[in-house]
Structure 1
Amino acid sequence: MRRARLLSITADRLFDHLMSHPELTPDQIDDLARKWFAEALRDEEDFRLSAQSGKALYVWPRAGEDPVDADLELLSELEADYREAIACNQFSKVARDVECLLGEAGRSAEPGSDVYKRLCLALLRANIELFRISKARRVGDYSLEPIDPLFRRQSASVSSMMPEPGDQRAKSLPLGDVLEAYEVAQVRDGKWQPTTRRNAIGKLRLFVETLDGKPIDTVTRDDIRGWREVLEEGERSNNTIRHHFKVVAALFNWAKQEGKATIDNPTVGLMPPADAPKRDAFSADELRRLFHSPLYTGHWRADRRERPGSVLVKDYKYWFPLISLHTGMRVEEIAKLRVADVRMEDGVWCFDILKSKTKAGERLVPIHPRLIDLGFLEHVKAIKHERLWPELKPNSEGSHSHRFAVWFPGYLRMIGLEREGVVFHSFRHTFVSRLEEAGVDTARIGRIVGHKINGITAGTYGGKLFTPSKRLECFKDLDFGVDLTHLMGR
């Protein structure tokens, strides 16, 4: 235990040391990979100790299959997959871990740069060693040591280092403190009128929350890109996102001018164009890959859903994509649902959308039969709370979907779904596209998904005439291009 604490302390000092250098050297990249490997081994051991005796650790065994054999087969497959990834220079499997390591070290690296590729390669090698050692430990053999030279005798290489003290970036003011000082100064100097203050402060608080209030001098351009993705997932227009950028850019400019920060404005050049963002429907292959990913087939832990395992948590992360694909609902509409909003109307189970982005969005949305077959109503009955997703709290802007919007883009990247224009809103595009292909007219689609419709047609299909049962008839037989039979009964 003492050795583990020592390794953790020296590794943390190593991070401070790394932060004092403008560009990662090959040796520093190797040290980051060694730190990741040491932590992964510890996490693996903690998970092994908490697992249920006599059960498979990482996978659901086939009928009659020995649980140990099932685990060994999965670990061997993973080891082979990561070796193939090295052979093909496919780095998406470790992209999320690379981003986390760089972020913790206060660094950034453009995908495709030598630094980024070197770190990806090192983490692919670390995973191969992790899977190889995990196989040995799964059968009780703790004598196996790393054979990859990068990780051999790791403890000596890490603990013997004499890192220099870190620079002052990590000790700079937290974003929340900078925001407080900025608000006071803007009001004191007469630059913010009440309306300006009201409009700006919510956007700034959202930015601070998204970056977890990190020290201002450690904010990177990758942090800004991640924040931009969160804004896009919230279905904001590009013009609205640009306004968020202008408000945050003003904060950074002020902070440097007033000596609250030393970094240059990290938002420069990252503001989206004024035209509408590109949002595409999912392809059938992309849907298959998503719904056959560990989020739906079994993951390692609730906080590591990109890695295969025997855990299957059916919370908001599990249900949001399924609901949006089968109903076309917006992410915030799903996030705000109460248990009472799932009710029977006209002999059909529906979502009662009481508050939406627009007045037209307030509607009854029939629940697709496949959602019921997947166990959604049982999930609703099991919730002992007014809200359907009680773990989702509103952020400073009142958004209940913020936590999911921060997580989902990263998960798509981790499973290799990185095509431009593919975001959560793509489920809504997919739903609409499939209804159009099925010959459902635009007015009826508009009523189902909550689009504003003008003219006589809207009146014909509006109100009580277009009942929930008639709405359900429009899409109840659609499978949206993806087979989900593997999720039934799980």
Structure 2
Amino acid sequence: MAVPARSQPRLKKATIQENLYTTDQLVAQVKANERAAYWQRAFDLDRQPSSEAPSEIFQSTFESTLQRIEWIKRTHRDEEDRSSALDLLLDEHVGPYLAELGYHDASQIEPGDLPRDVEAAADAVQAAIRGSRQVPLKYQKSFSDLAEQFLLDRQRDPRDRLTAQTVGQMEATFRLFRDHIKDAALASVDRRSASDFVDKLGKLNRHWGRSPETKHRSLDQLLASAGASPEDRLSTVTLARHVSALNSLWEWAVGRGEVAGDTPFEAPNTRRAKRARVSANAPWTDDAIATYFRRVRDRSSSGLPDPAYWLPMVALLSGMRLEEICSLERSDIKSAEGVRYFDIPQGKAEGSIRVVPVHDALLPLLDIAPERGFLFPNLTPGGPDRKRSWNVGKRFGRLFRQIDGASTFHAFRKNVAQTFERERVREHESSQILGHKKAGLTYGVYSPNGLTIRQKADLIALLRVPSR
């Protein structure tokens, strides 16, 4: 067997010749292959370390060793021969290093004695010989590798694709958790570690993610600059969102066999967080709505409807979401059976695709809106998903905070739902205006088209804007 030039100075020879001590041709071939593999590993001492990750080396070596073990069991019927052949499997990987380390056999090797790639291969061989299918934690995929694969998988199906904003939020969560566990395997996470992470998150400043430098700061650095004021820390609702991202990752990893068992992540005071969210989105009071429209006068001009005035007006008289209104184009205004309506072709849920009649009080909006293009052409898209509602939504937040009894823009839908309930409108009817999926089998399956456009117009006519 020829010795590579790079190994000749160390081995002090150009060829390898060995006596196999057998006259059996089959046995000789087996031994020759084993010794060739041994010397190949010896030559590898003079080669650069493998670029493969230890986890990849462990997995590939484990699978190939299992195949070789099956072959050994079939060809070595004598128990002693079989045992010797199995020992040689390990010797192929560690044998060349024993002399370098001054050891007599592999049992003397300590952790850290071998290069990482060789150690991974040796561990894989020993696991295969033991018949263990359990991958040691140090050779399981790192948390960051799993998180990256999770996000890629979630984006494959167009029907279930995450928005850019949600992806950005999840990436931030995963980056912080990676720092917390030093990018260990997800399977190594227990309830104590998960709970400690949530406790750390609870100490972060609530504005920590606004700086572009955030991505370059570790969790410890963010904690050091968080400050001590409890009022400036993350809300329970935000903590719940971080935990939800980790739970989604865990559920996905269970399905892939990367982890097992129940999720270790649990948000603190989840019930309180839900109550806080409901309170924050409570319907507006009539006085607050009247106050808003007294303060915000209509400053529209031909072709440029005033968003501050007309967006809330449309929401209160249609139940539409902010992004749905901001995305309306002139071509979305249609007529059927003598009724003008908004055609909403897409949305966040199955029921979001719907038609909503135009309330009589909104006809002046159509008179001043552009003849083509967006109804509100002067909106500037923003945010990760370039939503037309992004910037104007922030403006509304600032305006609403100045009014007693005000809520959120989304809460205008609560006002519409509240009106329908007080007028005793059935839920399966109001859902066709608000864009919710029909509840129940009967109406959802056997009446998929639902109310006529005139019946919907009668429901819209029930809505009103409190006296200004």
Smaller-chain TM-score range? 0.3 to 0.5
Higher relative contact order (CA 8 A, sep 6+): 1
- TM-score, with structure 1 as normaliser: 0.42
